[in-house]
């Protein structure tokens, strides 16, 4: 496909199922033509899933906005006592899900903040109530940061905490909190020192226990191309060990109303070319080891979600009903029902495939 040059060499490595190294990935970020990357990425995706693009009917439930980590890139968190700080009761969580369950919800993504007022019993109660009331929906719950805090407060190991959450109804763990795994970058972003290693350790523990997770990367802030390369390689290495990641999503950061913006460190969000470049590179780096790349439409809109598919993504993500984290930046998201997703995928000449929380096929919309 690629006739000459460094990208041809990368394509040949991909065909031989060889892992790309840091230099290969940095070259793709800094020098390679984005359209050539898209062609290579889409060719890999076509071999993995053809023209099928999956999506899930889900609800994102932000059960609290109280958080004591206070990341500089987050506009959502509040301190205890602030006028708009909130925490849902377990019954309140059930009432919120019940509003949207008739839409065929198969995944409940539940995460909020590291709330010092909550303990393990709160989460066990919430998960049990969800499992009892909504039997067809899988719980995709809690960030690594939340699990780390819950474990420490309960004086339990990560393994013990995850097993208790699993017994209560947790099915999968989302990849939130990965951001960029480099220690120096994380500290500058306001994350605790060692939190990158904690993320990898919690994910590995979950995989070892048979709990599937997803993986993410947040780009478009203070990271370098090498930081992103090492982030992708760390995730790929863990994936090769257990194959516990269900999908990977590269998210571009939304700077509005964040400390990074207030401090003048970051003024603008990543542009369209950065979005599709990160999608394409993710597909190329993970190759067949991590088959599902998600389009990250939530931060980029429906049209960019479609473009991401053309550049290598093969999962749209999910429906949205009153998600609160992105709107905290001032960006309008709104609700997105599955009929719009189906039409958006079909408009590309692709085949929409509805899935559940574990990426199992539910329905095909030819």
Residue numbers in the known binding site for [4Fe-4S] cluster are 67, 71, 74
Contact (Cβ atoms closer than 8 angstroms) between residue 219 and residue 270: yes
Give me the residue label for tokens 């109280």.
Answer: 66
**Chain-centre distance of CA 266, in angstroms?**
22
What is the C-alpha to C-alpha distance for residues 204 and 211, in angstroms, rounded to an integer?
10
By DSSP bridging, strand 351-355 and strand 361-364 are: antiparallel
Q: Give CA separation, 155 vs 48, 163, 264, in Å.
A: 43, 14, 40
| Binding residue ranges for (3R)-3-methyl-D-ornithine | 143, 296
Q: Rounded to an integer, what distance in angstroms lies between the CA atom of residue 292 and that of residue 109?
A: 18
Q: Which long-range contacts (CB under 8 A, 24 or more apart) does 330-333 make?
A: 330/75, 330/256, 330/257, 331/254, 331/256, 331/299, 333/298
Give the residue numbers of the binding site for S-adenosyl-L-methionine.
73, 179
Tokens of 242: 């257990």
* Tokens 């439409």, residue located: 297
Residues 6+ apart with CB under 8 A from 361: 54, 353, 354, 355
Report yes or no: 67 and 41 within 8 Å, Cβ to Cβ.
no
Binding-site annotation, residues: 67, 71, 73-74, 143, 179, 296
Which positions ≥6 away from 262 have C-beta within 8 Å?
none
């Amino acid at each position: 496909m690629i006739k000459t040059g460094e990208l041809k060499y990368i394509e040949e490595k991909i065909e031989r199922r060889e892992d790309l190294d840091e230099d290969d990935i940095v070259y793709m970020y800094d020098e390679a033509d984005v359209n050539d990357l898209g062609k290579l990425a889409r060719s890999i995706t076509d071999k993995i899933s053809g023209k099928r693009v999956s999506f899930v009917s889900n609800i994102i439930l932000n059960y609290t906005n109280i958080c004591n980590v206070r990341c500089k890139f987050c506009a959502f968190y509040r301190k205890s006592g602030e006028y708009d700080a909130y925490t849902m009761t377990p019954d309140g969580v059930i009432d919120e899900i019940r509003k949207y369950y008739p839409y065929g919800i198969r995944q409940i993504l539940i995460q909020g903040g590291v709330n010092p007022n909550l303990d393990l019993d709160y989460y066990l109660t919430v998960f049990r109530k969800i499992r009892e009331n909504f039997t067809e929906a899988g719980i995709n719950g809690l960030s690594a940061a939340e699990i780390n805090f819950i474990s420490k407060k309960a004086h339990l190991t990560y393994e013990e905490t995850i097993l208790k959450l699993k017994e209560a109804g947790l099915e999968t763990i989302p990849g939130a909190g990965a951001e960029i795994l480099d220690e120096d970058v994380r500290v500058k972003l306001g994350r605790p020192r060692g939190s990158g290693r904690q993320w990898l350790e919690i994910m590995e523990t979950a995989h070892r226990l048979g709990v599937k997770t997803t993986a993410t990367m947040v780009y478009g802030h203070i990271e370098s191309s090498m930081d992103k390369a090492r982030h992708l390689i760390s995730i790929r290495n863990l994936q090769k060990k257990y194959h516990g990641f269900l999908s990977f999503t590269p998210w571009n950061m939304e700077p509005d109303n964040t400390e990074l913006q207030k401090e003048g460190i970051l003024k603008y969000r990543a542009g369209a070319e950065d979005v599709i470049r990160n999608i394409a590179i993710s597909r190329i780096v993970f190759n067949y080891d991590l088959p599902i790349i998600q389009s990250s439409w939530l931060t980029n809109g429906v049209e960019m979600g479609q473009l991401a598919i053309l550049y290598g993504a093969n999962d749209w993500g999910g429906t949205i009903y009153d998600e609160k984290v992105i709107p905290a930046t001032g960006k309008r998201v709104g609700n997105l029902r599955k009929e719009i997703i189906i039409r958006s995928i079909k408009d590309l000449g692709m085949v929409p495939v509805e899935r559940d929380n574990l990426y199992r096929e539910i329905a095909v919309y030819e």
